Structure 1
């Protein structure tokens, strides 16, 4: 239940709040993101043969609609009901929209309106004849992954060294008190690897474009060299001090008790994914680690059922990543023996069902996750059966805590409200939005001095590892 110092009526972040990340997103980032969609579609149209007249004409109509959406965002027009594309979630979007009353792009709840934007774009493609399966972000996602080849190779070599040294099998076979400190440190390292994979988010990058140096959007100018600086083992070690709330030890204690005290013979871990590309690879390696160490008997990956927030994972992105890892013509590091070996193991886990992929329409609704028990009760009950549900990334974190203006020192368990009862949650998030909870007073004072002006919650250089044991 929420803390007594934080009423449940605390308002979520709105785009009208001057100086907030929400306001910057609505006025600056969204127009750039939509313009990049227009540009990407132009490139796709240019690759079609001239005899595909109907295909091209329909693409032009979608492109014109994207320009209209962009104009409405920049002119702060009123949000309008979504047109039906045959999916039932449109009704819930429109019901939510009506419940908020009259809203404009620069005066609306940030979390809902951002989801509304991407769902609005999807209706353009879903209602088409020739473009219904088109992923407007696919080119950006692949280009970003290819640009991260050095970090991919380092990660694969690191995991190969753990395998060759027997560290993973030793961790799986260890008794309760046998070398627990070493196993805990390995868990912390692998969890931090998965955490910092989230540092490179295409919805916040501006120099990894589909056809040039222009990509989604941000005031932060990352290039491939910057990406390499955010990835890899050295960056993980350097970033440990920037994990401003770190519950990794508590998460390890819970998993250790689950695996070594006979509470479960089947331990499924669920991972609600965030970004494709390098982050997806870190998530797959994390899944492999959990299996190899016996912390999980199966891992299920939850993906988005449509292109979402520029770089979020769809089922196709997993196939693209595994294919790229095996093709030196696409991915420069594919010829590396450690990369080949890891790619083979990942594909084997994927094809055998040890690592499974799940889709559910709830993940692309406008609801925060605290509505999960009411809106998607069957999904909620299923997640209650999971040994651990890992939520990756900024958007999932915002949805967990209702994107509300909580005090930064509020305990994570209080901020997730009804989800604290029963569901075992591990949230791995690099900070890219103003909401952030779970800090001590001492840590808050330190980071506000280190990165003033809200930089520590916005620039992706600080992070949280937040855990709730379901009690």
Structure 2
């Protein structure tokens, strides 16, 4: 299989260019509006936003705790325009630089303060999460197969949570918008390996994490997994990515609810106390690499589990490599270097994709020029 060129921030990827030209400056504006930052933080954030559009990449200061690692990781990129380097690396480094600008890792009052917390908390306290939590009382009445599929699709669609926990899941718009659907293979795999350990690599906090926790509860209570390891980010990343604190916030939201949602929260708290639900936060998940660069400890873990479920767009990019693959390239071939069985649950929000049928690709190309990045489509892909 021929290695394809990586996605870079160029005209070839209007999405990647838009992220740096529009989304990042808008994010900086939102952060400045949300926090009482001092003048140094204002200057650092403004300079970072401007650098990402018009400047060249500057390394972390030598005083940063992880400066040595990043000096090594970016040695071939520093001093070059952001538009000339791989999108996956550049986007990851942008967020590391953003945390440096806010003082997240430095001694002082801003140390350990998640700059994205206001956005996450607003979503968690919003009507969408309240509605999906309340809807659990209805969805739980479904028979096992339909219930499992409804919860899987809720977890898949993530931050399109208005689609979550619908009794029609699997028969409505959620299913019809799947460009690839290996969900039946995933359930067969879980059933054949029942009683083993499942690893779930999380994506977003808020409504998506609530859906992930409910899916985890289903796997544990139905005996499809003896244990679940939930992998989250060790520090704030990509605005909405889940950390341990976000998992705790979502669990509390369930526990403070009523009915089935509260019961789910209580079961999950007990599962954690018994070691059946473990939350891990390896530093690799904030590194600027795809999964072929994972440390040996993670590789051994994912080799030994029944299946690793990867959530979201960024994890998909890291799974297949953020490269310009032909969309009909085999998912199994591209992911063959990932250790163990793997399933990807992803809403399409970036350029890279593999594993499509020829007819599906033709239909997508004929209906929308932006189907790869619009978030209107999703997929479930499995390599067993």
TM-score (norm 1): 0.76
For these two proteins, the number of residue pairs brought into alignment is: 379
Give the corresponding residue for 2:244. Answer: 315
Q: Any residues of structure 2 matched to 1:106-185 within 5 Å, and which?
A: 106-123=83-100, 124-147=103-126, 148-162=128-142, 167=143, 183=145, 185=146
Distance 1:86 1:294 in 2: 45
- Distance between the aligned counterparts of 2:150 and 2:140, measured in 1? 15
Q: Deviations over 1:146-171 (max 9, x none)?
A: 22234323442245425xxxx55xxx
Structure 1 unaligned blocks of 5 or more: 46-58, 169-182, 201-226, 260-265, 328-333
SS at 1:437's partner residue?
coil
Q: Which moved more, 1:305-314 or 1:235-244?
A: 235-244
Name which of 61, 67, 73 aligns with 2:40: 61
Match of 1:23 in 2: 17
- 8 Å contact 2:230–2:279 — kept in the other structure? yes
Q: Which of these residues, 195, 204, 226, is aligned with residue 297 of structure 1?
A: 226
Partner of 2:283: 361
Q: CA RMSD in A?
A: 2.1
Evaluate the alpha carbon distance shift between residue 152 and residue 186 of structure 1 in structure 2; reply closer, same or farther with a 3 A threshold. Answer: closer
SS at match of 2:230: strand
- Structure-2 residue corresponding to 1:258: 193
* Distance in 1 of aligned mates of 2:62 and 2:346: 33
1:406 offset after TM fit, Å?
0.3
Q: Given the alignment of the two structures, is residue 79 of structure 1 paired with residue 57 of structure 2, yes or no?
A: yes
Q: Which residue of 1 aligns with 2:164?
A: 231
Give the Å deviation of 1:281. 0.7
1:199-245, CA deviations, whole angstroms, 9 ceiling, x for partnerless residues?
44xxxxxxxxxxxxxxxxxxxxxxxxxx53x4341576312011111
Q: CA deviation at 1:84?
A: 4.5
SS in structure 1 of the partner of residue 179 of structure 2: strand
CA contact (8 A) 1:37 1:66 kept: no
1:258-407 → structure 2 map (5 Å cutoff): 258-259=193-194, 267-327=196-256, 334=257, 336-372=258-294, 376-407=295-326
What CA distance in whole angstroms lies between the structure 2 residues aligned with 1:385 and 1:357?
Answer: 17
Question: Mind listing any 5+ residue stretches in structure 2 that lack a counterpart?
Answer: none
Match of 2:26 in 1: 32
Is residue 210–residue 251 contact of structure 2 (8 Å, CA) maintained in 1?
no
- Cα offsets for 1:7-57 (capped at 9, x unmatched): 12x111000234521111111111111222222223xx6xxxxxxxxxxxx
Cα distance, 1:71 vs. partner? 2.2
Contact 2:58/2:78 (CA < 8 Å) preserved in 1?
no
Residue 56 of structure 1 corresponds to none
Alignment partners' CA distance in 2, 1:426 and 1:402: 15
Mean Cα displacement is larger for which, 151-160 or 305-314? Answer: 151-160
Offset at 1:359? 1.2
Q: Distance in 1 between matches of 2:265 and 2:192?
A: 31
Q: Report which of the two structures shows the higher radius of gyration computed on alpha carbons.
A: 1
TM-score w.r.t. length of structure 2? 0.92
